């Protein structure tokens, strides 16, 4: 299938590349790797805003940020990267393309493309994009390597998560040899915090609550906290890791209020607990150890629902 997709991409006259909404380093890095490899014939689309911390990536300036799918121009191929289901690209209209290709590593992927490459055992979508680009025989430039490295680096939490294995380091080695500079990527992503983010973090940490024998830690951010600190939704990336990072905690949960209503939830687990199952039961998805969903209710109602489901899941319940 990868050979087939490599050929389709090489032969295509126009490619529109899509990332999921609230994009992370893997979604953005994967799309920009394609952009830097195939240049003019690729347009990269982001539903909503592209987080500022990723503007250092080559090609980021050219990403088209759209609020309505009517702004998306038809293309021969729609290439959807790191996205488990169509809902994560609002009003996705496949009739604007001759073929839809999905490349992803989510267990919960719904195989909504005409061609689907889904490899849940991979730590990032960017690595699969790397495989495909190698098959196209396009030279892997320093810019392409930097984009792929960023996807791999961020989706493994800087080589910390359980998805990190010998293959991850092998791929990272290849990318560094091709020109990616790890410390530069690290500084851009983890050491370029705007002060407003740190002020929001200070407010967020005060909300810490522990549940289920202190095995679940919950943190949240309200609309009012955003207003007080001048922070943006994208500034909460990784806040959930403060919840997971507590000794004895199995599951970290982070919630943020959405505009004008609703709640975005992030789950991170350490060992046994499958949070993708819980997120899926709430209409979302993700991986065993990192998952998310959106709920149309208040913060407190969301916390209630989540704790009830986690209680079942963590006692080995079958009803989730």
Residues in touch with ligand AMP (CB under 6 A): 20, 22, 24, 84, 88, 106, 266, 284-287, 290-294
The CB-of-17 to ligand AMP minimum distance in angstroms stands at 16
Which is closer to Mn ion, CB of 8 or CB of 83? 83
Q: Which of the choices ligand AMP, Mn ion, none does residue 22 contact, using the CB cut-off of 5 to 8 A by kind?
A: ligand AMP
Binding site for Mn ion (CB under 5 A): 24, 26-27, 82, 125, 155
Q: What is the dihedral angle through the alpha carbons of 30, 31, 33, 37, rounded to the nearest 10 degrees? A: 140
The CB-of-155 to Mn ion minimum distance in angstroms stands at 5
Distant-in-sequence, close-in-space partners of 105: CB < 8 Å, separation ≥ 6 = 82, 118, 119, 120, 121, 122, 123, 124, 125, 127, 128, 287
Which is closer to Mn ion, CB of 175 or CB of 216? 175
End-to-end CA distance of the chain: 34
Which is closer to Mn ion, CB of 156 or CB of 274? 156
Nearest to 84 by CA among 26, 144, 4: 26
Q: What is the dihedral angle through the alpha carbons of 227, 228, 233, 235, rounded to the nearest 10 degrees? A: 150
Nearest to 82 by CA among 147, 142, 143: 147
Q: Which of the choices ligand AMP, Mn ion, none does residue 285 contact, using the CB cut-off of 5 to 8 A by kind?
A: ligand AMP
Q: Which of the choices ligand AMP, Mn ion, none does residue 109 contact, using the CB cut-off of 5 to 8 A by kind?
A: none
User: Does residue 101 contact residue 113 with C-beta atoms inside 8 Å?
Assistant: yes
The CB-of-201 to ligand AMP minimum distance in angstroms stands at 16
Distant-in-sequence, close-in-space partners of 264: CB < 8 Å, separation ≥ 6 = 22, 233, 255, 256, 258, 292, 293, 294
Which is closer to ligand AMP, CB of 81 or CB of 178? 81
The CB-of-300 to ligand AMP minimum distance in angstroms stands at 20
The CB-of-121 to ligand AMP minimum distance in angstroms stands at 14
């Amino acid at each position: 299938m990868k050979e087939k997709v490599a050929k389709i991409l090489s032969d295509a006259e126009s490619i529109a590349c899509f990332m999921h909404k609230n994009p992370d380093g893997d979604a953005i890095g994967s799309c920009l790797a394609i952009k830097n490899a195939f240049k003019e014939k690729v347009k990269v689309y982001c539903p909503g805003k592209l987080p500022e911390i990723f503007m250092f990536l080559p090609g980021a300036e050219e990403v088209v940020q759209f609020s309505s799918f009517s702004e998306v121009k038809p293309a021969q191929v729609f290439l959807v990267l790191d996205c488990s289901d169509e809902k994560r690209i609002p009003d996705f209209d496949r009739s604007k393309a001759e073929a839809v290709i999905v490349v992803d590593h989510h267990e919960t992927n719904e195989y909504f493309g005409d061609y689907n490459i889904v490899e849940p055992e991979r730590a990032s979508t960017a690595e699969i994009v790397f495989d495909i680009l190698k098959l196209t025989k396009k030279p892997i430039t320093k810019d392409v390597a930097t984009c792929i490295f960023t996807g791999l680096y961020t989706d493994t939490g800087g080589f910390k998560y359980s998805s990190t294995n010998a293959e991850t380091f092998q791929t990272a080695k290849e990318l560094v040899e091709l020109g990616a500079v790890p410390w530069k990527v690290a500084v851009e992503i983890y050491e370029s915090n705007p002060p407003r983010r740190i002020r929001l973090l200070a407010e967020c940490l005060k909300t810490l609550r522990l549940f289920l024998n202190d095995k679940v830690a919950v943190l949240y951010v309200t609309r009012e906290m955003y207003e007080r600190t001048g922070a943006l939704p994208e500034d909460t990336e990784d806040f959930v890791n403060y919840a997971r990072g507590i000794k004895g905690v199995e599951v970290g949960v982070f919630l943020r209020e959405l505009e004008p209503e609703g709640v975005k939830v992030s789950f991170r687990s350490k060992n046994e607990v499958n949070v993708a199952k819980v997120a899926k039961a709430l209409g979302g998805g993700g991986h065993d150890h990192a998952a998310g969903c959106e709920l149309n209710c208040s913060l407190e109602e969301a916390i209630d629902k989540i704790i009830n489901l986690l209680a079942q899941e963590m006692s080995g319940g079958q009803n989730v």
